[in-house]
Amino acid sequence: MKRFASLLALAMIALTANAKDQLHLYNWNNYIAPETVKRFEEQCKCEVVQTYYSDNEELLAKLAAGAKGYDVLVPTSNAVQALIKGGQLKPIDKSQLPNLKNIDPAYLNTAFDPDNKYSVPYAMSLTVIGYNDQKIKELGLPTDTWAVVFDPKYVEKIKGRVTVLDSSSELFAAALKYLGYSANDVDEAHWKQAVDLIKKAKPYWAAFNASSYIKELTVGNIWLVHGYSNDIFQANLDAQAAGRPFHILHGLPKEGAVLAVDNMVIHKDAPRPDLAHKFMNFMLEGRNSAELTNLIGSGNPNKEAIKYIKPEILKNPAIFPDKTMMLKLEQLKELTSAQRRLRNRMWTEIKAGR
Amino acid sequence: MRRRSPALWAAALAGYAFLYIPLVIVVVYSFNDSRLNAEWVGFTFDWYRKLFHNEEMLSAAGNSLLIALVASAVSTALGTMAGVAMYRYRAKLLAVLVLTPIAIPEILMGVSLLIFFVMLNLRLGLASVALAHIAFCIGFVAIVVRARLAGMDESLTEAARDCGATPWQAFRYVTLPLIMPGVIAGALMAFTLSIDDFVITFFTAGAGTVTLPLQIYSMIKIAVTPEVNAVSTLLMLLTLALIVVATRLTPSLFRN
């Protein structure tokens, strides 16, 4: 028994000992370029330790239960709002973030975090249409409207070759946009219209898919998706690398789309708020921010980053939307609990219906 | 041997095929020369080479192994004691206490352990994950050990005591060797349960503590590369090796 005890004690020491300065970054997987991390480590003489989550809810659940040890988190705007409400964040000290001036003012001072007391924008994505250019051109389908996902007149031509995101908020947003309402519309009658629309289109869809549609697109099983711009970018990279005869392109719906902005925030129990500020300021530098965009095709709210971004990404309107499109983009807001119950009921009705 | 009916053979074959074909596919595709891994392109060892240069994946695998070793060692020691106590003293309450963690939904256990660790102000890290794994593995070891004891002839221990052995000697030289197959089976079970646990680990792991299941899960949304197949193949080999070693050590483990 003694041997066990000492073994355990040894293991524990081995597990907790770390001499070097460390910044703990709780991030999405593949959401920072490795060369950027390396440069930051050299500059701050510290080590960046990353842990990953794959869903805002995961992050919220874990922090709500009291987990700590993280310095910087990268949640989406509505999750930032939830974290602020839960008292989970430490206000940022803007005097330590001179590079904040690089951010396009259009992304600052939003309703999610007025005056950016807690958060600074990191990167963003749009929820758009992704399609196989060969197949869709052959069939002569439009790719600039949600009708191609919802209107039976179009979607019947690609029956079983379409997937939509397995997310009630994203799918309702697309349907509401198509119907001409705001993505954040909370009128029950409008929601019912959206349910009808979705139920009519559902028989033509192959699946509700939020995880493997990148692969399905690349392989050529699926020809059109309702998906995230980053994923569609990734699908095209993969398709080209695999030497497929087609491209996976972005279609930006004229009705508008959902914009998701991810933000850097500091956790209230951050062990190293000093390093956290240094890291945030570093990521607000144009070149560092641009590296992420070049890696995964994410949108970038940083004006100084533009000159470092590959031109083919920069001219993609589904990654860098123009002024008129910007007006039609919306960030999703949190629902109240009553609204969420109604939404869940409708979602169950949609998924359970044949 | 009597000839079995072809239907029985077919059913058995189908059963084994269902269990093993997915594993075979994982192994075969770890040699696939395609990042997408959707169809067979060509044979390569590339993914293994990449894997051995992928520090994140390796450190995750290292963490998983370390945790599994510590968790299975400690839970085997404690679980064996619990199993013996449950058998010998027929303590109802003890049985309930030891076995409840097996029946409790993992998510509940994960959240409650996290809240508990936070209350204690314990720093979340490998240590907290190891503790959590020990907690849920003890029950499994205890069950296996108790089952083994139930099949043992109690008079052997009594004979040892009659011949002047102390209780410890009787346990160490008579009972323990007899229940060894159960103890080893329990340890193997604890090791496997620990190395592939996701839910409890997710909640109890702290900043920077990434285990293999957590790493793979966070990759799924981006795209699982054949590196994941490669690391899974290595894990399978390790498990196989462990089972072979276990059968060598205690030949009676898989025979009656």
Q: Average the pLDDT over A123-144 and give the result.
A: 94
Q: Which fold has domain A125-258+332-352?
A: D-Maltodextrin-Binding Protein; domain 2 (3.40.190)
Q: Is the pLDDT of residue A1 over 50?
A: no
**CA angle (A73 as vertex; A70, A79 as ends), nearest 5:** 125
Positive or negative torsion for Cα A135, A139, A145, A149: negative
A171/B5 Cα distance (integer angstroms): 53
A243 contacts B34 by C-beta, under 8 angstroms: no
ipTM of predicted assembly, 2 dp: 0.70
Decide if B202 and A62 are in contact by the 8 Å CB cutoff: yes
Could you give the residue range(s) of every CATH 3.40.190.10 domain in chain A?
2-122+261-315, 125-258+332-352
Instruction: Find chain B residues with C-beta within 8 A of A64's C-beta.
Output: none
Which residue in B218, B224, B225, B227 has the most chain A C-beta atoms within 10 A of its own C-beta, making it the best mutation to test that interface? B218
Q: Judge if pTM exceeds 0.90.
A: no
Out of A51-60, A139-148, A235-244, A345-354, the most confident range is A139-148
Mean pLDDT of chain A: 91
Q: Which fold has domain A2-122+261-315?
A: D-Maltodextrin-Binding Protein; domain 2 (3.40.190)
For residue A9, the model assigns a pLDDT of: 54
For the stretch A333-354, pLDDT in tens is 988 999 999 999 999 999 887 5
Decide if B118 and A65 are in contact by the 8 Å CB cutoff: yes
Which residue in B29, B34, B36 has the most chain A C-beta atoms within 10 A of its own C-beta, making it the best mutation to test that interface? B36
Type of residue numbered B168: W
What is the number of CB-based contacts under 8 A between chain A and chain B?
107
Question: Which domains, from first to last, does chain B contain?
Answer: 43-254 (1.10.3720.10)
Question: A105 to chain B nearest CA, in Å?
Answer: 30
**Residues 6+ positions from B151 with CB-CB distance below 8 Å:** none
A354/B132 Cα distance (integer angstroms): 42
Per-residue pLDDT of chain B (256 residues; tens, 9 = 90+): 567 788 999 999 999 999 999 999 989 989 988 777 777 778 888 889 988 888 888 889 899 999 999 999 999 999 999 999 988 888 788 888 888 888 899 989 999 999 999 889 888 889 999 999 999 999 999 999 999 898 888 888 889 989 999 989 999 999 998 898 889 889 998 998 998 899 999 989 988 888 988 888 877 766 677 888 898 898 888 888 888 887 777 666 555 4
Q: Is the pLDDT of residue A6 over 60?
A: no
Residue that has been written with the tokens 């020691």 in this structure: B77
Positive or negative torsion for Cα A285, A288, A290, A292: negative
C-alpha gyration radius of chain A? 22
For the stretch A181-212, pLDDT in tens is 999 999 999 999 999 999 999 999 999 988 78
Q: Is the pLDDT of residue A57 over 90?
A: no
DSSP 8-state code for residue A333: P
| A46 — pLDDT class (breaks 50, 70, 90) | very high
- Work out whether strand A162-164 and strand A207-208 pair parallel, antiparallel, or are unpaired: parallel
Residue of A nearest to B130 (CA): A12
| A42 — pLDDT class (breaks 50, 70, 90) | very high
Decide if A4 and B218 are in contact by the 8 Å CB cutoff: no
- Please report which residue ranges of chain B form alpha helices under DSSP H: 6-29, 46-51, 55-89, 92-103, 106-120, 126-150, 154-162, 167-170, 176-195, 199-204, 212-220, 226-249
Q: Reduced to 3 states, what is the DSSP secondary structure of residue A317?
A: coil
Of the candidates A239, A248, A158, A247, the residue with the CA atom closest to the CA atom of residue A206: A158
B187/B191 Cα distance (integer angstroms): 6
Cβ-based burial of A205 (10 A; exposed 0-12, middle 13-18, buried ≥19): buried
B97 contacts B247 by C-beta, under 8 angstroms: no
Residue that has been written with the tokens 């993280």 in this structure: A70
Cβ-based burial of A276 (10 A; exposed 0-12, middle 13-18, buried ≥19): buried
A47/A78 Cα distance (integer angstroms): 30
For residue B101, the model assigns a pLDDT of: 87
A44/A23 Cα distance (integer angstroms): 10
Instruction: Find chain A residues with C-beta within 8 A of B84's C-beta.
Output: none
A276/B206 Cα distance (integer angstroms): 17
Q: Of A14, A53, A242, which has the smallest distance from its Cβ to B218's Cβ?
A: A53
Q: What count of residues does chain B have? A: 256
Residues 6-25 of A with CB under 8 A from B: 7-8, 11-12, 14-16, 22, 24
B183: tokens are 């103890």
Q: Cβ of B167 under 8 Å from any chain A Cβ? A: no
Decide if A69 and B123 are in contact by the 8 Å CB cutoff: yes
Q: Of A11, A29, A68, which has the smallest distance from its Cβ to B70's Cβ?
A: A11
B230: tokens are 């490669």
A93: tokens are 């000290």
Q: Average the pLDDT over A236-263 and give the result.
A: 92
Type of residue numbered B9: W
Decide if A52 and B215 are in contact by the 8 Å CB cutoff: yes
